[in-house]
Amino acid sequence: MTDADQAAISLVEVSKTFGGPDGVHVLDKVCCEIADREFVSVLGPSGCGKSTLLRIIGGLIPWDEGDVSVVGERVDGPPDEAGIVFQTANLLPWRNVSANLTLGIEILKETDSDADKTLRDMVEMLALTGFEEAFPHELSGVCDSVLPSARPSCAIPASC
């Protein structure tokens, strides 16, 4: 990355401890810069802090020390321009495919005039055409795991 480029994600000496000063020290002075459109994998054994790091970047939990910024802005909560996909499906069983996909739009109280087209495009891309009114328990395991991954894409404004 050149000096003219701004890191999409920047971590400067980020530390996190759970349970107070005598608790579990999960992250210790983590430093990293990730460029726009750069593909990065976070690898490590169970319990080493991978999910904690991602939750900090996503603004879901605070960190104890250091600095975290996304596109030059200090992280102080989940940004509207990003979606987070959790390790578990987190589908709402009482909502059908369409309603689960558009949950983010509802939460953000967006009035996107293209929301219907975005939904149709997403359903087609996921090969779920014909299943828009199906509920999670009616989907195969593959569909059940793909649907939550696509949900954030429906809520992110097209201008992003």
Q: Which contiguous run of DSSP H or E holds residue 105?
A: helix 103-107
How much is the pTM? 0.61
Domain that residue 133 falls in: 97-155
Contact 7, 33 (CB under 8 A): yes
Would you say residue 89 lies in a domain? no
Number of domains in the chain: 2
**Per-residue pLDDT tens digits for 31-44:** 999 998 888 888 98
Q: Are residues 62 and 108 in the same domain?
A: no
Q: What is residue 137's DSSP assignment?
A: G
Q: Are residues 63 and 115 in the same domain?
A: no
Would you say residue 90 lies in a domain? no
Contact 71, 8 (CB under 8 A): yes
Length of the chain equals: 160
**Per-residue pLDDT tens digits for 34-73:** 998 888 888 988 888 998 999 899 898 999 999 999 988 9
First to last CA, the chain: 22
**Per-residue pLDDT tens digits for 73-108:** 999 988 766 666 666 667 888 988 888 888 777 776
Would you say residue 92 lies in a domain? no
CA distance 35 to 30: 17
